[in-house]
Amino acid sequence: MAYRSLEECLLDLERTGRLVRVKEKVDPDLQMAAIHFRVHEAGGPALLFENVKGSSFRAASNIFGSIERSNYIFRNSLHTVQQLITIKNDPLQIFKHPLQHTNTIRAALHALPIKNPIHKPVLFQEIKITDIPLVKHWPNDGGAFITLPQVYTEDIEKPGMMHSNLGMYRIQLNGNEYELNKEIGLHYQIHRGIGVHQAKANKQGKPLKVSVFIGGPPAHSVAAVMPLPEGMSELTFAGALAARRFRYCYRDGYCISTDADFVITGWVMPGENKPEGPFGDHLGYYSLTHPFPVMNVHKVYARKNAIWPFTVVGRPPQEDTSFGKLIHQIAGKALEAEIPGLKQVNAVDAAGVHPLLLAIGSERYTPFAETMQPAEILTIANHILGKGQLSLAKFLFITADDSGHLNCNDIPSYFTYILERLQKERDIHFYTHTSIDTLDYSGTGLNMGSKVVLAAYGNKKYNLIDNIPVAINQHNLIKKCRLIIPGIAVIETNKFSNYNQVTTEMNMLTQSLEPHLNDLEGLPLLILADDADFVAEKFNNFLWVSFTRCNPSHDIYGVASFVEHKHWGCKGPVIIDARMKPHHAPPLIKDTAVEKSIDPIFEKGGSLYGILK
């Protein structure tokens, strides 16, 4: 089914029991987000808020809240789009199997954007920012944000649809220093296409025209987050996934998606920034206030009976987890085709995606050699760290599996496999003073930090132990130690103070453990944390704490460590200091009063009664 609008999709979800209407008046200031969280955590349906306080428009959330629901929405086009991307990487497929690709040819026609002949879309009315449901998600957020925007810009040197960029960059609608109804905040991270467009506009001293589309066919939202192969337009992908051509027109020189529910047009002037944030983000912490481009509002449009779609992000898994799974379903094979030797990759959602990447590659460089050691996988690692969004990976674990049985989506088994083979003296490679994800505050500044690659290959070298050695339990700096899985333990010690003090403490700890290398051989990874019980309680807690709170160059230590010809290694366990640091962003915590205020909606007589069971 090709949805022509967001409402068509929501009505279809309702008919099949995948959507529930919330009839009570709900406040967009924290209450709507709290309801969304509670429903999503319970694996509940999509939500349509019919009575939004302070706005005449309805709002919808949790639309993509499960991979099952996402697959249902795109049930008629998903396979065809997968084929289309495969053909993009191997065009001869269409000639080898022409009868298998008739639907693919049709999808290619849907991929072509079509200009709406209506210069002034009759379905649109002009409104103000304050007419929109101003959804505030977390207590310390700087204001209300758009969390499912499709931000459209064009290349000032090559104007037109086919050289445009469509991305999902959060938009702050009010708060801070923004002049209400006249200015909004435009936040985007590094390695984003809009940055190239703004750089070109700045070079010419001209404003960058921006159109923000909200709503429309669900495929348009997915297109805005899709990491497409080089040369493929997001608008063409939106049409192919929607099985309906992307419709647009121009008004006052701005591009308008004529299928969107809302459109905000405006411009960004060179060097014109204002404080944006804080914002509770998908790593599970607040991204803090920083100067980002301010968008001067030109016009705000809404369709008749428009619906405002939103999502809420926080510590994963959240709704955007389903986005990630859907993206992998569509483009996973294409990525592997673009990087020779890469067999599998997993940007670990539980660790916030960019902080931790697991990969499986090939080792074909020296099949004649007796010694099995990393070679090709190091080349693949460098390729990964130079590839689009993958380049933001902070920890990259990579190995090769000749048996073909290893799966990097089985994360505990993957860690076991690589730790059994990790030669700590050789296999750890640091990248210092480099760029990291904008939302990652573990580094030395905004976008600044380090990376580390752990590349292990060969026969099993160690038997991982499932007990805590006496040498660790007896150390006076260690308050508590818990096993996570065989080979990985978490240590609770003093709170982090400063790096000078920590250097002294770590020297004492590692020196005291050095005489016990034999006993520690089966425990190659130790995590320092503020709460050992929390980290050991669930494997996802280990992933979240360990890899979001560590800057590799500053926070990785080793027992019997050394530097030889500028290469760092250690003979005993690798120690990751994952304690909270003074410069870290605070974690997200729900507001207890807000949580209590939404209870009646879930109780008998409320719209959502029974859905949490």
Q: Where are the domains of the chain?
A: 6-310, 321-456, 470-577
309 neighbors 9 (Cβ within 8 angstroms):
no
Res 159: pLDDT: 87
Res 96: pLDDT: 45
Res 91: pLDDT: 44
Same fold, 6-310 and 321-456: no
How far is 343 from 334, CA to CA, in rounded Å?
11
Check residue 110 and report its DSSP letter.
H
Residue 220 falls in which region: left (phi positive, over 0), alpha (psi -120 to 50) or beta? alpha
Choose the CATH number for 321-456 among 3.40.50.1220, 3.40.50.2000, 3.40.1670.10, 3.40.50.970: 3.40.1670.10
Res 367: pLDDT: 72
**CATH number for region 6-310:** 2.30.110.10
Q: How many CB atoms lie within 10 A of CB 525?
A: 22
Structure tokens that stand for 378 in this block: 């190091």
Question: 612: which residues sit within 8 A by CB, 6+ positions away?
Answer: 38, 39, 42, 44, 602
Question: Looking at the DSSP assignment, which residues form a beta bridge with residue 159?
Answer: none
Structure tokens that stand for 267 in this block: 């411009």
Which stretch of DSSP H or E encloses residue 598? none
Res 446: pLDDT: 86
Pairing mode, strands 525-529 and 480-485: unpaired
Q: How many CB atoms lie within 10 A of CB 4?
A: 14
**CATH number for region 470-577:** 3.40.1670
**Helix, coil or strand: residue 204:** coil
As averages over each run of 10 residues, the pLDDT of the chain (613 residues) reads 92 97 98 97 96 98 95 88 64 45 62 73 82 97 97 91 89 97 89 82 93 96 80 82 91 94 96 95 94 96 95 93 84 74 93 94 79 90 89 95 92 97 96 90 90 96 93 82 97 94 93 93 96 97 97 97 97 97 95 97 94 81
How far is 434 from 450, CA to CA, in rounded Å?
5
User: How many residues make up the chain in this entry?
Assistant: 613
Which stretch of DSSP H or E encloses residue 583? none
Prior bond of 367 cis (ω within 30°): no
How far is 424 from 456, CA to CA, in rounded Å?
9
Res 333: pLDDT: 67
Q: How many CB atoms lie within 10 A of CB 532?
A: 22
How far is 418 from 416, CA to CA, in rounded Å?
6
Res 290: pLDDT: 94
Sole residue written with tokens 């070298």: 461
End-to-end C-alpha distance for the chain, whole angstroms: 31
Question: 122: which residues sit within 8 A by CB, 6+ positions away?
Answer: none
60 neighbors 10 (Cβ within 8 angstroms):
yes
Res 102: pLDDT: 53
Which tens digits make up the pLDDT trace of 273-284? Answer: 999 999 999 999
Gyration radius from the chain CA atoms: 25
C-alpha dist (Å) from residue 191 to 387, 391, 507, 534: 10, 9, 38, 34
Confirm whether pTM is higher than 0.85: yes
Which pairs with CB-CB distance under 8 Å and at least 24 residues apart come from 88-97? 88/229, 88/232, 88/334, 89/229, 89/334, 89/337, 89/338, 90/337
